[in-house]
Amino acid sequence: MYLDDDRVVTSPSDLTTWAACEWSFLRRLDAKLGRVAAVADASDDMLDRTARLGDAHELRYLEELRATRQVVEFERPVPSGYAAAAEEARLAMASGADVLFQATFFDGSFIGFSDFVVRTDAGAYEVYDTKLARHAKIPALLQVAAYTDQIRALGLPSADTVRLVLGDGSESVHDVADVLPVYRVQRDRLRAALAERVAADAPLAWGDPTVTACGRCAACQAQVDEHRDLVLVAGLRGEQRQRLHRAGVGTIDDLAASSGPVAGIGATALARLRGQARVQLATERDHTGAPAVEVVDADALRTIPRPDAGDVFFDFEGDPLHTEGDGRAWGLDYLFGLVEADGAFRAFWAHDFAGERQALIDFLDYLAERRRRFPDLHVYHYAAYERSHLLSLAARHGVGEDAVDDLLRDGVLVDLYPVVRQALLVGSHSYSLKKLEPLYMGDDLRQSDVKTATASITMYVDAIAERTTGDPDRGDRMLDEVRDYNEYDCRSTLRLRDWLLELAGRHGIRADDPDGPTAPDPLELARVPREPDPVAVGLAAYVADVDPLERTADQTAIALAASAIDYHRREAKTFWQEHFDRLRNPVDDWADTRDVFVVETASVEREWQKLPRARKLSREVRLRGRLAPGSRLGEGGAPYAVYDAPVPAGVASLGPGLRGAVGSTVVEAGTNGDRYEVVLLERVAGDDDRHDSFPVALTPAAPPRATPQPEAIAEWGGRVLDALPEMLPDPAFDLLRRQPPRLRSGGGPAPVAGHDTVSAVVETLLDLDRSYLAVQGPPGTGKTYVGSRVIARLVREHGWRVGVVGQSHAVVENVLRAAISAGVDPERVGKVPKSGTTADQADEQPWRTLTSGEEAAFLAEADGGAGGAGADGGGQAVGAVFGATAWGFANADKVARASLDLLVVDEAGQFSLASTVAASVAATRLLLLGDPQQLPQVSQGSHPEPVDESALGWLADGHDVLPAEFGYFLATTWRMHPALCAPVSELSYAGALTAHASDRRLDGVTPGLHVEPVTHVGNTTSSAEEARVVVEIVRSVVGLAWSDDDGTRPLTPADVIVVAPYNAHGAVLREHLDAAGFDETPVGTVDLFQGQEAVVAVVSLAASSAADIPRGLDFLLMPNRLNVALSRAKWAAFLVHSPLLATGLPTSIPGLGLLSGFLRLTGQGQPAVEV
């Protein structure tokens, strides 16, 4: 940024700086205008080194291009020559230059020098940028979008993609449509803010509500200190700062002196924040050099294990910018340092990736041998880095995964950070180890020149360079300093442990307490196998030597098969690790996790008693609090009830001082005002276990036992392994290979004659040779209609035995009802009821209710071909339809392997590949029905291959529309008016979805999407402002004449649905609608309305801005969710939102595409005239 008279000229990098901290960027302009003194940026060795490495990376790529292309290279001009240099670059492109390096773009208010502009085969220009990072980042994409925008403004042909050449040598390609709208919105905001600042007559004031401040940069930090801002308070989140401001609490001093409730902040969290402010003020008064300390939960100190002679205190040192070879791998943990209990220090050095692998092996071998000598040892560390990096290193090098897993399972790793956070309030704005050291290091406080992690990395890099090309002895001395830095950190961790034990002793907690902490509950972890299945190991070994980026489709399928076998083990392991982490860590750290409910108030609804026919005592409690955004907690749910220490009798705990958890049952659940309310049923074994305690939170229920799915996948995987090197002819394996359906006749799926998709699907299924067929059905296109009539034809005309599987019993039962309506004899349709179904409920179903164990006999009746009971009088085979979840089809005792002619996977856009494989073993053919553009598959675990992706999502491979070679796309919706279909089609189906014209009409309302911006600030998960607008929308349409095939009638409140992203907003909407007399208008989250329809849909997004969204833009603006919400409507959809949602930057690359899609949907981020 620079000033040219009164005009501000900005560059693409300025947009990045602006996005990082608007306040400091505008204050920098104030300094250029002479209004304030400039704040010098602190020097940063890592940034300087990154810049040098980035320049070298750019030059390497330039050399590559010089060898293969004609490169026009430009010198960097002086400011007076910008216009001429930009014209030179324009002429070069207009004349068809092959590659431009450092081309100038200048329009009077924009100046930039692009790394590379490359002419494509089609004659368009694509912007390339070299970035040292290993992954694409949003600032880099905004920069290339800026140059693309400039090319288009010049009237020159530009490509539809931009490209980042990453530090690992790979190229990351992105659609311009996913980036450019966001860039334009950000650019226009920046220009408007700069113009307003230039026109102002005073410098920007701290706390200006129109701009955001990071609170961390040098410019912000000076203001934070001067104004005693709440940012000073350790652990205070941005949304809490906003709520405190609204309550009149603006400084750390105000907070320390405040009392009473604050809207939107729970009592426990508020008390901790006030205590934190008070203890920080105490530190300021004392001037001792050490922070003040207050013990707030002495029981948390019980979590520290008894000292053992074998204890180890561990710390990593790592360089994130290290790379070698082809540059595809980055980051080196160059020192594994540890101090033993007797003070001895050990160092495991690694100066390259091979050395890192060996250091990991040696470190794990050292621990294994030491554990044999000292079975009760623990490895102490501070914060999560050591644990997470042990896991990532084991995964990177393919060694030690089981050893690391054992350390975690056995509770060997002890993180002291959550102990400190739970037990203490420390009078410092940070809880880093460096800030705690004055409390316990005494005269041993760090005195060396290397005092920070950044300084350690710089010293290490310089030391290696010195050893290689300079003075090796000096390099060794420098490494000694790095070693000393690491040893000090390890020794600091030891001293912290000892100091915490001293504190525990002062509070009556003995270090030799025989009831010390234990490892995680072995009864629960025993459900997770320790070792991967041997078949998985064999399949993985088959492709182990192939770079994942260079695999063939068949090799990818083999890797997926291996990962599928291990899918359920990884899912369960991840759940239990996260569950135990929640029991150890402060509630605030996980309060916003999906399906977590934090209790704020509690009362007893029914005291402990033994109900008739019950074996255990039970009570009911009413809990009121906050449900994490995007959560589902309803009647019949079985969450864990989490209790603070000391936990009640009968509640499982990891040990003294740690929280405990026990299973419970939700009796009632729903919103009550601005909070969520749950009536919870708790059980205890006997009278001795009665207690008066209340849970502090409800957390996700344990995953159901996966058996027999893993066993079925392993059996299937064994057949895949045995067939190698040939590819097993199998429907699930064809799916993993992304091979088009294999037909006996050859060729592709049968063509659709007219609109008769059913006949085409039936013809193709009859022609399948142990393969699959996919059908993508967007909202209102008749997916269930097609599927049910295909089933009916195959059962009635061909005697097929058809299975129906889905994510839930409800999904399966919906297809069964449709099949019966399509003409299948109800006696030939069977299903075992869901657990908990009463006899009366089962009798109400139109199909034949089976008891567990009758499945095989029911299907055998259909085996007419064998002359059994299923044959009709002429010996013709009689088919059957059997519905179950994946557990049923994976169980060979219920459904024999390959005994079904067809397995229909309904909602296959939400059904994981692993579950598809597990169920597929029951059939010789698969029919995948669904839409990956609707609500996505949810996964718990982290998997080496994408087996958690949905079956249809895997086939679509990022395409909005299923490629034709895999099956059928139902391209006509019979629900939405064409004017409403168009934006939905553009948002989610690349414009391929069209609407069937009809005579339906709602008088007085234009069909289509109506965008309703509502300005508000500070709202996170609910908005009264939007609720009032929603009421007016409903009021404006109710009573209007609605005409459809059933005639003309007044529109009723029940004909309108209102969709909210969060339960809290749903409650506010419900309250406002009820008060206005619209109690028949349904309100809920998008999950509630999937599969339903209404004349009018009103979608209200609640959050004021991106900064106010608890789960980020990625959740709120997900096209899948918007697609489902908007497409419920037949005639019109209203999108109520804050315009500030468009101004925030996402936190992920996919989120960038989501925001761009939202901007297109709402008509923002588009040029006045597209060239």
For residues 1116 and 995, state if they share a domain: yes
CA dist 113 and 103 (Å) reads 5
Place of tokens 């050292």: 366
Which residues, 6+ apart, have CB-to-CB distance to 499 below 8 Å? Answer: 439, 440
For residues 138 and 15, state if they share a domain: yes
Distance set, CA 1082 to CA 337, 1074, 1079, 1135 (Å): 60, 11, 8, 16
Q: What was the pLDDT predicted at 303?
A: 83
3-state secondary structure of 333: strand
Q: What is the domain range of residue 923? A: 709-831+876-970
3-state secondary structure of 709: helix
CA dist 121 and 631 (Å) reads 48
Which residues, 6+ apart, have CB-to-CB distance to 342 below 8 Å? Answer: 309
CA dist 676 and 332 (Å) reads 46
For residues 331 and 416, state if they share a domain: yes
Distance set, CA 230 to CA 235, 787, 793 (Å): 10, 58, 68
Asked, for residue 850, whether it belongs to a domain, the answer is no
Torsion of CA 804, 807, 808, 809, to 10 degrees: 10
CA dist 1032 and 1084 (Å) reads 18
Cα Rg of the chain (Å, integer)? 32
Domain final position from 938, 970, 1002 = 970
* Structural element, H or E, at residue 534: helix 534-542
3-state secondary structure of 314: strand
For residues 609 and 751, state if they share a domain: no
Cβ–Cβ under 8 Å, residues 118 and 107: no
Question: Could you tell me the CATH number of the domain that includes residue 82?
Answer: 3.90.320
Question: Could you tell me the CATH number of the domain that includes residue 1083?
Answer: 3.40.50.300
In DSSP notation, 95-131 reads TT-SEEEEEEEE-SSBEEEEEEEEE-TTS-EEEEEE-
Q: Pick from 1142, 1132, 1077: which is nearest to 1104 by CA?
A: 1142
Q: Which is it for strands 1008-1013 and 1001-1002: parallel, antiparallel or unpaired?
A: unpaired
Asked, for residue 899, whether it belongs to a domain, the answer is yes
Q: What was the pLDDT predicted at 69?
A: 93
In DSSP notation, 199-221 reads H-SSPPPTT-TTS---S-SHHHH
Quote the distance between the C-alpha of residue 1068 and its chain's center: 27
Domain final position from 915, 946, 970 = 970
Q: What was the pLDDT predicted at 44?
A: 64
Question: Could you tell me the CATH number of the domain that includes residue 274?
Answer: 1.10.150
For residues 1030 and 1113, state if they share a domain: yes
Domain final position from 699, 719, 734 = 699
Q: Pick from 563, 543, 569: which is nearest to 717 by CA?
A: 563
Q: What was the pLDDT predicted at 629?
A: 75
Which residues, 6+ apart, have CB-to-CB distance to 562 below 8 Å? Answer: 535, 536, 537, 538, 539, 540, 543, 717, 945
Distance set, CA 181 to CA 175, 177, 378, 751, 1168 (Å): 11, 7, 52, 38, 12
Going along 413-471, which residue ranges are E strands? 413-415, 424-426
Amino acid at 328: R
Q: Pick from 114, 112, 115, 125: which is nearest to 65 by CA?
A: 115
Place of tokens 């040779």: 769
Cβ–Cβ under 8 Å, residues 1053 and 1094: no
Q: For the chain, first and last CA: distance in Å?
A: 27
> For residue 697, what are its two tokens?
């939170």
Sequence-separated contacts (24+) of 863-872 with Cβ below 8 Å: 863/801, 864/799, 865/799
Cβ–Cβ under 8 Å, residues 595 and 940: no
3-state secondary structure of 1141: helix
Q: What was the pLDDT predicted at 869?
A: 39
Cβ–Cβ under 8 Å, residues 138 and 124: no
Cβ–Cβ under 8 Å, residues 676 and 682: no
CA dist 183 and 291 (Å) reads 45
CA angle 1139, 1140, 1146 (to 5 degrees): 120
For residues 758 and 639, state if they share a domain: no
Distance set, CA 189 to CA 18, 186, 195, 1104 (Å): 10, 5, 10, 17
Asked, for residue 524, whether it belongs to a domain, the answer is no
Q: 998-1036 burial, b for 16+ CB within 10 Å, e for fewer?
A: eeebbeebebbbbebebebebbbbbbebbbebbbebbee
For residues 123 and 53, state if they share a domain: yes
Question: Could you tell me the CATH number of the domain that includes residue 508?
Answer: 3.30.420
For residues 1044 and 1127, state if they share a domain: yes
Q: Pick from 113, 116, 80, 123: which is nearest to 100 by CA?
A: 116
Quote the distance between the C-alpha of residue 1025 and its chain's center: 29
Asked, for residue 903, whether it belongs to a domain, the answer is yes
Residue 4, number of CB atoms within 10 A of its CB: 12
Cβ–Cβ under 8 Å, residues 639 and 700: yes
For residues 1013 and 958, state if they share a domain: no
Place of tokens 């801005």: 1105
For residues 898 and 813, state if they share a domain: yes
Q: What was the pLDDT predicted at 401?
A: 80
Output DSSP code: residue 262.
Answer: B
Q: Pick from 207, 453, 239: which is nearest to 1103 by CA?
A: 239
Question: Does residue 548 have a cis bond before it (omega within 30 degrees)?
Answer: no
Question: Does residue 646 have a cis bond before it (omega within 30 degrees)?
Answer: yes
Number of domains in the chain: 6
Task: Please list the alpha-helical segments (H only) found in 5-122.
Answer: 12-20, 22-32, 45-68, 82-94
Which residues, 6+ apart, have CB-to-CB distance to 899 below 8 Å? Answer: 801, 859, 922, 923
φ/ψ of residue 995, rounded to 5: -115, 140
Q: At what angle do helices 783-798 and 757-767 cross, to 10 degrees?
A: 50
CA dist 207 and 250 (Å) reads 10
Amino acid at 891: N
Distance set, CA 955 to CA 49, 562, 1002 (Å): 43, 18, 39
Which residues, 6+ apart, have CB-to-CB distance to 446 below 8 Å? Answer: 434, 437, 488
Torsion of CA 347, 352, 354, 356, to 10 degrees: 40
For residues 178 and 282, state if they share a domain: no
> For residue 642, what are its two tokens?
């989490």
Asked, for residue 943, whether it belongs to a domain, the answer is yes
Cβ–Cβ under 8 Å, residues 631 and 625: no
Asked, for residue 154, whether it belongs to a domain, the answer is yes
For residues 276 and 348, state if they share a domain: no
Q: Average pLDDT across each block of 10 residues of the chain; the chain has 1171 residues. List them in order.
A: 86 86 90 86 65 80 92 93 95 95 93 94 94 76 93 95 83 90 92 91 87 84 91 86 88 95 82 94 89 90 90 90 64 91 94 90 95 95 86 80 83 90 92 92 73 78 80 87 91 95 88 49 51 84 83 92 87 81 82 88 92 88 87 87 87 76 91 84 87 94 87 95 95 96 94 93 96 95 95 95 94 95 95 87 91 91 50 62 95 95 95 95 97 74 78 92 96 95 94 91 96 89 93 97 95 96 88 94 87 93 81 80 93 95 80 88 70 35
Asked, for residue 816, whether it belongs to a domain, the answer is yes
Asked, for residue 532, whether it belongs to a domain, the answer is no
The Cβ-side half-sphere exposure at 909, using a 13 Å CA radius, reads 22
